[in-house]
Amino acid sequence: MLKVFKMRSSFTKLFYSLIILLSIILLTCSLVFYDNYEKQTIRQASDSSKQILTQTALAVDFVWDLSSNHLYDLYGDADVYNSIYSRDVSPTEAINASIKITKAISNSMFLESVYLYNGNMQKVFSTKGSTSSTVEFYDKDILKLLKNENEMKTLHFIPRKVNYNINGVEINDNLLTLISSEAPDKDGNLEGALIINVKEGYIRNILKSLIPFSDDVTMLVDEKGRVISDYDPDMFLKDLSSEEYIKSIVASKDNSGQFTGEVNGEKSLVTFISSSKLKWKIIQVTPYGKLVAKAYNMRNLIIIFCIILFTIGAIISYFISRKFYLPIRRLVNKANDISTGTIAIKGSGKHELEYVSDFILNMKDELLKAKYQSLDDSRLIRNELLKELLLGGYIHRADLEGRFNNLEFDFQNVVVYVLKIDNYYNEEIFNYSVEDLSLYRFAVGNIAQELTEQFYSNETVDMGEDTIAVIVKTKGEPEGTIEADLKTVIKQIQDAVQKHLNFSLSGSIGPLQKHIKNINKSYNNAVLNSNYRLIYGKRSVITQEILNLKEVAKYHYSQDIFMPVLNNLKLRKYDLVEKQVDKFFGRLAQMEYDDIMVILSQIIHDSIATINLMNHCNNSGNAYSFKVLRDQVERFDTLEEIKEWLLYIYKNEIEYIEDNPKDTKREYINMVFTIIHNEYNDPGLNIESIAERVGLSVNYLRAIFKEALGISLTDYISKYRYEKALELLVNSNLTVAAISEMIGMNSENHFYTFFKKFNGLTPTQFRKKEQN
């Protein structure tokens, strides 16, 4: 028979299979490793660029904040203000103003100079020289800017190159200029202005200190595509708006971004971030070749390494194939002798492995028959069959009753009750090994079976994890009698398990089912009833009768219901929080299980939002995840445990904030000030919209604002709008209708009524009076 085999075909196939497998593994691993290495290299460079640009943006914003603060401080000084607008500046005022602007220069590394322009006297006070007339003033460029109405409309940095001569010294520099002034008169002339010149070189030094790679191109670009700062000072004010990558960045509405594109004919990684205070973009351009240079070197090493491994693998594959082939040949000879021709060989192309495979399959079938016959009555098979029955796995089988006849148990008129291990997810039990937990369930099942036998014949089923089911065969007794007997049995089981195994059980009883097809309904009902351990506690025995007698409260939840707890949490009044949580959970215990779990999810969501807001206001505290806390809730057995856990989180948060004190109310009020001062021109600005923005209830916000300022929040908004209206009526030529719109009034008539309420005059009457 063996002569029909191709005796060396198995060796050849085995050898080539190993070679192909080796090649696939090496190729796949190499490609995956190289791809991940390249991506990781680029990702690390990308993350580094984003982090550095973020720091640069913060530094640029900091320069802006300091510059504008200097501007406001000097502008608000009486001596400086008089030196700008007075028609007759006294020597004392001039000296005091000069001292103050000189002090501002000496205290700030980034300030280049300060000018006080007095249009009435046609003079300029400068920190770089004595007072001079506008005709003799060395910085002619600034005088031109003062006549440019477009540049004077808003406060912003004006980039400019200067070239002037002071006392015979030629000065060339790059400056960022801030100008503050009142509105021009009707002829368009400025009465005065305060000018601060910031060194562009200071920002350039920031770039050099924060950007470690000298071969990367890093620059600041304004909204027009002009270079504001670069390593190379000659790039200042260079127009790059025609470059495609600059067009993309300037046109982008995103605050930050990253893309790959062509820069000066070279593929590059372009990263940008926007200044939050200025209309500038900080841009870093990194050559792509630089990023992947390490990856290219690694690729060459991988190729060499793979060649070496392939050579070694080929040699090993040859010896492995040879070693495996010899036993196969001996096995074929042996199998042929044993089979005595019972395994047919179809066709002369059949090789050794196919012959051995047929032989092994035939032997496997015989062994499996013997194995299942021996295991048919074993506890494991019996448990798995009953478990599948309770889970509804056989309810659609036509041979359902016949399949379970050999179990010698009558499944007609049965009740299923369920035993649940309490505290299963606590570390004390949950950290047991799988084998230990299985032994515990087996022990509980034996106790349950023995005690239940006093009343009824039964079968216990290990359902896994914390659950043991008991199938009880009744004798036609009334359901009330069955339920009372089983409650007694479950109590006995609980006592025995507590005594011998030292843990507690809860039990629940399903309804009577008359047919085997409905047995899973009794089990499912018992499992659903067991959920009410959440309300009735550990070692409880829950029946359908108890649940039917329970007065169920209608499900209803809104954030306002739990808001008293959250408000007192914000006030860090733990005693009130504890009382209100007790009251709330008392109401919760009257509801259906599903409604309770939904409400608990919403409570967790609202609590996390409140705690995270408190932490934000205090720049500290713990960060909580909804998923983590929601999963934790499902691990508790009772509402009392959930309540104590939630109070622990609240108390921990309050203690943390009190150990790291910060005026939380003042933080909220400062947030309100910021919203009003930035958005007073929004007609929809009111206490409701502000409360929603800062995450407080309307009543609580109203109370803390009145407590802090002695004025209601609504009155403060009106007063602030009135002051802005006064400022615009006096200092601008805008129409009354335009001013009405700018301070957030819906109509001009409304504005007239509003203004007269505060002033006693209409806006038009007030403006005429001021002009006269």
pLDDT tens-place string over residues 162-211: 988 887 788 888 999 999 888 787 777 788 999 999 998 888 888 888 76
519 and 629 both lie in a single domain: no
Last residue of a domain, one of 662, 691, 723: 662
Is the residue at 343 inside a domain? Answer: no
Is the residue at 190 inside a domain? Answer: yes
* Residue at token pair 């916000």: 701
183 and 41 both lie in a single domain: yes
Q: What is the tens place of the pLDDT at every residue in 684-709?
A: 899 998 888 887 888 888 888 888 88
4 and 71 both lie in a single domain: yes
Bridge partners of 175, per DSSP, are: 160, 199
Q: What's the pLDDT at 507?
A: 92
The answer to whether the Cα torsion of 596, 600, 606, 607 is positive or negative is positive
Residues in contact with 497: Cβ distance below 8 Å, sequence separation at least 6, in sequence order:
444, 447, 503, 504, 505
215 and 203 both lie in a single domain: yes
Whether the Cβ atoms of residue 698 and residue 687 lie closer than 8 Å to each other: yes
Residue 114 has pLDDT above 90, yes or no: yes
112 and 54 both lie in a single domain: yes
Distinct helix (H) and strand (E) counts, the chain: 29, 16
For residue 358, give the nearest of 375, 373, 339 by alpha carbon.
Answer: 339
Is the residue at 362 inside a domain? Answer: no
Q: What is the tens place of the pLDDT at every residue in 55-84?
A: 888 888 888 888 888 888 888 888 888 888
211 and 232 both lie in a single domain: yes
- Split at pLDDT 50, 70, 90, the class of 53 is confident
Is the residue at 325 inside a domain? Answer: no
Q: What's the pLDDT at 373?
A: 52
For residue 713, give the nearest of 675, 743, 744 by alpha carbon.
Answer: 675
19 and 43 both lie in a single domain: yes
Is the residue at 333 inside a domain? Answer: no
Give the mean pLDDT of the chain.
81
Strands across the sheet containing 266-274: 227-230, 217-221, 281-287, 266-274, 256-263
620 and 690 both lie in a single domain: no
Last residue of a domain, one of 265, 284, 317: 317
Residue 734 has pLDDT above 60, yes or no: yes
- Split at pLDDT 50, 70, 90, the class of 227 is very high
Q: What's the pLDDT at 7?
A: 44
Of the chain, the percentage scoring pLDDT greater than 70 comes to 86
647 and 676 both lie in a single domain: no
Bridge partners of 270, per DSSP, are: 259, 285
247 and 389 both lie in a single domain: no
- State the angle between helix axes of 687-694 and 664-679 in degrees (0 to 180), rounded to the nearest 10: 130
Whether the Cβ atoms of residue 190 and residue 144 lie closer than 8 Å to each other: no
Last residue of a domain, one of 643, 662, 681: 662
What is the identity of the amino acid at 50?
Answer: K
Q: What's the pLDDT at 427?
A: 54
Domain span holding position 573: 559-662
Of the chain, the percentage scoring pLDDT greater than 90 comes to 7
Q: What's the pLDDT at 344?
A: 45
Q: What's the pLDDT at 350?
A: 59
Is the residue at 366 inside a domain? Answer: no
Supply the CATH number for residue 543's domain: 3.30.70.270
Q: What's the pLDDT at 212?
A: 58
Domain total for the chain?
A: 4
Whether the Cβ atoms of residue 343 and residue 358 lie closer than 8 Å to each other: yes
- Split at pLDDT 50, 70, 90, the class of 466 is confident
Supply the CATH number for residue 726's domain: 1.10.10.60
How far lies 733's CA from each of 586, 677, 729, 738, 764, in Å?
65, 22, 7, 10, 12
The pTM of the full predicted model, rounded to 2 decimals, is 0.42
Q: What's the pLDDT at 346?
A: 41
721 and 706 both lie in a single domain: yes
Specify the higher pLDDT residue, 514 or 194.
194
Is the residue at 334 inside a domain? Answer: no
Supply the CATH number for residue 104's domain: 3.30.450.20
Tokens of 389: 């029955």
Residue 395 has pLDDT above 60, yes or no: no
Is the residue at 350 inside a domain? Answer: no
What is the average pLDDT across 466-484?
87
523 and 570 both lie in a single domain: no
